[in-house]
Structure 1
Amino acid sequence: MLQATSLDNTVDALRAGGVIAYPTEAVWGLGCDPDDASALTRLLRIKRRDPAKGVILVAASLEQFSPWLEGLPEERRAVLAEPQPQPTTWLVPDNGRAAELVRGEHDRVALRVSDHPLVGELCRAFGGPLVSTSANRAGEPSAMSAEEVTRIFGDELDALFDGPLGGHTRPSTIRDLATGQVLRA
């Protein structure tokens, strides 16, 4: 049975190509190294998610997204740096850095700087962004606790970084950086 793991053991699992569970702002998430194609493939298989949909990347700071933001005009970067009233995932034009499984069938990549302290701690310890997709089987409700994650996924995951959710009641808002359009409120 999957047990809670320390920060160091969770980071070790990520670096070894593992798939992890961790609390986010509103729901539990599944994550892996966005640059590890086999980990991404495994995460999508565990979740039963259509690879064409793509996934969100989460980071502790905008600086951690630097490779994904190369070539982005300064005025667009300024928009990304503006404080938002709620967690916001931005759809940013792909500069060729995002793996196909991250981007899915889209020409943009979904990026969110998280203010959740444990997500920040995890991304800083890992040294960069992580995949962040809700901890559920596709089409099912998202896990709201470590116990639900364990019930849903059993031993399919490599680490569980336990802690409280961030206190938001809904997943992040998704906005298109180019147009400002809200795609998910």
Structure 2
Amino acid sequence: MARYLDVHPHDPQPRTVAQVVALLREGAVVAYPTDSMYALGTRVENPDGLERIRRIRHLDDKHHFTLVCADFAQLGQLVHLDNSAFRAIKAATPGPYTFILQATPEVPRRLAHPKKRSVGVRIPDHPVAQAILRELGEPLLSSSLVVPGAEWPMTEGWQIKEELDAVLDAVVDAGDCGTEPTTVVDWTSGTPEVVRSGAGDPDRF
């Protein structure tokens, strides 16, 4: 049964955030709010959590997981950035964008694309996600909370708890955070290619 943690969307309670992070450090898979929609998250060093997210979402091994970062410095340790990518991504973050770039050796091989050695990274502009990331002190392995076969993503924490109670360890409810996923920009060829338009303005790329 998943724990239900009600968090203020703009001023998250430190005690509740600490409880979420304690669960993550114990190996939990949690549903948490972002600036585009709810997401599933677990620690990067938790292969069991990764497999659980795969099962929840029915994902294959070609799926790009996202490493959700607290800030640009953290992001820069995970991916290779040339000058143009550095400037453009820094200007667009934090925000509802996912960037696919070549992974550095800091990224475990099991998290990168098996052939391209690429990985998705993002910095969310949501107070609750940011509070969790700062308290955790490391990136969060994450995937958008899209249930197979559902017409729309779930937007309320109580609904996520009801639907996924048996497969999650915690639901962090900060109210409705929308149904639109991030805009995904693939930078692996050296130039930006928008591969999915979403909550972030794609025109800047």
Shorter-chain TM-score category? 0.7 to 0.9
Worse overlay, 109-118 or 125-134: 125-134
Matched, 1:158 2:172: no
Matched, 1:148 2:133: no
Q: Partner residue of 2:65?
A: 55
Match of residue 93, structure 1, among 94, 102, 126:
102
Contact 2:35 2:95 in 1 (8 A): no
Q: Partner residue of 2:11?
A: none
SS of the equivalent of 1:78 reads: helix
Q: TM-score, normalised by structure 1?
A: 0.86
Percent identity of equivalent pairs: 26
Contact 1:32 1:131 in 2 (8 A): yes
The offset of 1:129, in angstroms, is 1.3
Q: Partner residue of 2:131?
A: 121
SS of the equivalent of 2:52 reads: helix
Deviation digits for residues 20-62 of structure 1 (CA, Å, limit 9, x no counterpart)? 1111123211100123222212221233222221211212211
Aligned residues: 183
Contact 2:57 2:148 in 1 (8 A): yes
| Stretches of structure 1 lacking an aligned partner (at least 5 in a row) | none
Worse overlay, 123-132 or 82-91: 82-91
Q: What is the CA RMSD across the aligned residues, in angstroms? A: 2.2
Matched, 1:110 2:120: yes
Match of residue 77, structure 1, among 68, 86, 89:
86
Q: Distance in 2 between matches of 1:176 and 1:135?
A: 21
SS of the equivalent of 2:62 reads: helix
SS of the equivalent of 2:173 reads: coil
Matched, 1:183 2:192: no
Q: Distance in 2 between matches of 1:30 and 1:147?
A: 15
Higher relative helix content? 1
Worse overlay, 43-52 or 144-153: 43-52
Q: TM-score, normalised by structure 2?
A: 0.79
Match of residue 30, structure 2, among 10, 20, 45:
20
| Larger RCO, structures 1/2 (Cα 8 Å, 6+ apart) | 1
Distance change (3 Å), C-alpha of 1:114 and 1:175: same
Deviation digits for residues 50-102 of structure 1 (CA, Å, limit 9, x no counterpart)? 22212112122111223213x53344322220136961111111223323443
SS of the equivalent of 2:3 reads: coil
SS of the equivalent of 2:92 reads: coil
Contact 1:54 1:101 in 2 (8 A): no
Q: Distance in 1 between matches of 2:176 and 2:141?
A: 17
Distance change (3 Å), C-alpha of 1:103 and 1:139: farther
Which amino acid in structure 2 is aligned with residue 78 of structure 1?
R
Contact 2:98 2:182 in 1 (8 A): yes
| Stretches of structure 2 lacking an aligned partner (at least 5 in a row) | 6-15, 198-205
Q: Map of 1:22-41 to 2, 5 A cutoff?
A: 22-41=32-51
Contact 2:3 2:169 in 1 (8 A): no
SS of the equivalent of 2:180 reads: coil
